[in-house]
Structure 1
C-alpha cells in the first residue's frame, strides 16, 4: 500500500482516540490563547512555527478523525469534475449534470467537460442543508400544532 493510499484511509480506533485527545487539547489551547497568531509545533524533534489558521484547521481535521472520518483538504478555488461533485453531494453524476444545466450550480466548460468550483458546490450544499432544516422545522411545528406527539 502506498503512502498516499495510507493517508486516505479511515482512521483505526487507536488513531481516532489520539485524534480525539489532540482535538480536545487544541480546542483548549485555542480558547486559552485567543490572541495568539502563531503556534510552535514539534514533530520528532524538529520545531517549526505555523499560523493560527493552520492550528484551527488541524483541530477540525482531528475532530473528523475522532469521529472515524477520512479527511480530504480541497482549496476553495479548486475546480472539480461532475463525478467529484456527485461524490461530495452523495448523489449520482447525472443528477449533478441536471443541477448544472438547470442553473442551480455555476460551472464552466473545458472542452466537453464541465468544471465546478468547489466554493460554488459548497454554497449549493449549504443552501440545500438550510432548506432541509427549515422544512423539517416546519413539519415539526405542524406536528406539534396537530398534537401528533412528537
Structure 2
C-alpha cells in the first residue's frame, strides 16, 4: 500500500474552515444513520465504498484539523524510535530513556536501538493522565478540608 507523503504543516484558515464544515456534516450523517456500516463516496467521478470505522476516523481527523492541529496517523502496532516516543509524550529523549530503563514503559531492542510500541506509549500517557487527575482531585479535597477557599 502506498500513501501520499505526510505533511506536518498546520492547516491554513481555509482548510480549517472546510474541515470544520465537513466534520459537522459527517458527524450528523453518522448520528442519523447509526445502522449504516459503510458509505459510498464519490471522488472525481469515481465511487468508493468506505467502512463506518474509516468514516468515524475521518470525522475525528477533520475535527482536529478544524481546530488548526496538524494530524499524523500511526497504526497501533507501529514501533517508534525513542525520539518519536519522547515527542509524543512531550518529554526529553534522555528522560524517556530513564523511563524505559526503569521499566515504566516496555520496549524492545533492535541491535543497539530501542523501539517502543505506539500502544505502549498511549497506555503510559493515559496512565499518567489518570494519575494526574487523581492527584489533582486529592489536592482539591485537601484544600477544601483545610478551608483554603478553593
Distance in 1, Cα, partners of 2:22 & 2:149: 42
Aligned residue number for residue 136 of structure 1: 136
Name the structure 2 match of 1:4: 5
1:43 is aligned to 43
* Structure 2 Cα separation of the partners of residues 13 and 149 of structure 1: 42
Calculate the TM-score normalised by the size of structure 1: 0.93
Q: How does 1:102-121 map to 2 (within 5 A)?
A: 102-121=102-121
Cα distance in 1 between the residues matched to 2:148 and 2:40: 56
Deviations 1:92-126 (A, max 9, x none): 00111101000001111000000100011110110
Partner Cα separation in structure 1 for residue 41 and residue 148 of structure 2: 55
107-116 or 38-47: bigger deviation: 38-47
- 1:42 is paired with a residue of what secondary structure? strand
Matched residue SS, 1:27:
helix
Structure 1: gaps of 5 or more residues = none
Q: Which whole-Å deviations, capped at 9, do the CAs of 1:2-34 have from their partners, x for residues lacking one?
A: x736x3210111111111111111111111111
Aligned to 1:93: 93
- Residues 60-107 of structure 1: CA distance to partner in whole angstroms, max 9, x if unpaired? 101111111100000000001100000000000011110100000111
Query: Aligned pairs, how many?
Result: 147
Alpha-carbon distance, 1:146 to partner: 2.4
CA distance in 2, matches of 1:79, 1:45: 37
- Residue of structure 1 in register with 2:83 after alignment: 83
Distance 1:56 1:117 in 2: 24
Q: Normalised by the size of structure 2, how large is the TM-score?
A: 0.93
Instruction: Give the distance between the partners of 1:73 and 1:122, measured in 2 at CA.
Output: 13
Gaps of 5+ in 2: none
